[in-house]
Structure 1
């Protein structure tokens, strides 16, 4: 989800997990590849589903997990009450990714998806970030959705100006995902 603001946009950066310890520390499932920036001391975070907001008091890594302390969240009960909250951070609307082959989720969501032959086959509706590689969730023109690994071999072209991505000619790549389980 991306919400527009004057000169800035709100981007989803994480989801609060279980409390850690008794002093209000929170674990965070990350939706950003810039946690040191998005969860820096003094950073303002908002709840994606309400008007609540907090200021980051402290963040650090512990056994491979980001632990976050928010101002006003001082004990385990207060931390537990925030479990599941989706966190948003403000970023300049015109900010671009650093590398030539790097893209923000907000740049990809909404792009049209073309087959290798140039035929319109769907639209990117979300980007997932599991450990192995990023996945583009595509709503197919013929109905259903599928996930395509966002790697050069399968998505050889991203054209932000044209508003499209082009897929490689791979058998079964556009088969709808089975969501019956």
Structure 2
């Protein structure tokens, strides 16, 4: 699952992250955020880079020279990146691409489509999506529940269903994400004290 963003008036979709240099000819291994990499990473495809401001690539774009799968791993070659040293400067960069509103991508939504949706757990509304945060490893839905904001990983295991038309997302969070777990330490201590008192 990924969320899309509107950037400078354009619709953008996050499609991948460059995770490590591969070989000596400038190749980079990809973490894919798209269900159709063969279509996204065609030769000539241009991506906007999300990198720190200190990066030499800040504010620049990259163009795909070649995409292939090597030993089961998606790998991309980029124009003007011809050796391992150059590839290393792009590690951890996130790739975004312009996308039309009517273009369909499975399990992907624009941020504005998610913000405002009710968050439902066991058929009970537990909060509302107030914003989306984008991080290299995954996106987070920030859910306002009562007077607190809860960070919900936007992954299939925790957010199995997004129904924009119904105005809701369904969550199956792990214990403790939306409520405080009982302090088992206190319970154990109380039990030990009772045993001690009984023996005394």
TM-score (norm 2): 0.65
**Is this contact kept in 2: 1:146–1:175, CA < 8 A?**
no
Higher relative contact order (CA 8 A, sep 6+): 2
- State the match for 2:44 in structure 1: 42
Deviates more, 1:114-123 or 1:63-72: 114-123
- The structure number with the bigger radius of gyration is 2
Instruction: Report the alpha carbon displacement of residue 161 of structure 1 after superposing the two structures with TM.
Output: 2.6
Structure 1: segments with no counterpart, 5+ residues? none
- State the match for 2:119 in structure 1: 113
Q: More helix per residue: 1 or 2?
A: 2
How many residues align structurally?
A: 167
**In structure 2, C-alpha distance between the alignment counterparts of 1:45 and 1:39, rounded to whole Å:** 9
Structure 2: segments with no counterpart, 5+ residues? 52-57, 182-200
Matching of residues 158-173 of structure 1 within 5 Å: 158-167=162-171, 172=175
RMSD of aligned C-alpha atoms? 3.7
SS state at 1:92 partner: coil
TM-score (norm 1): 0.71
Question: Relative to structure 1, is the Cα distance of residues 177 and 81 closer, same or farther in structure 2, using a 3 angstrom cutoff?
Answer: farther
- State the match for 2:74 in structure 1: 66
- State the match for 2:96 in structure 1: 88
- State the match for 2:145 in structure 1: 141
Deviates more, 1:80-89 or 1:142-151: 142-151
Instruction: Report the alpha carbon displacement of residue 25 of structure 1 after superposing the two structures with TM.
Output: 0.8
Question: Relative to structure 1, is the Cα distance of residues 19 and 87 closer, same or farther in structure 2, using a 3 angstrom cutoff?
Answer: same
**Is this contact kept in 1: 2:119–2:170, CA < 8 A?**
yes
**In structure 2, C-alpha distance between the alignment counterparts of 1:31 and 1:177, rounded to whole Å:** 32
- State the match for 2:156 in structure 1: 150
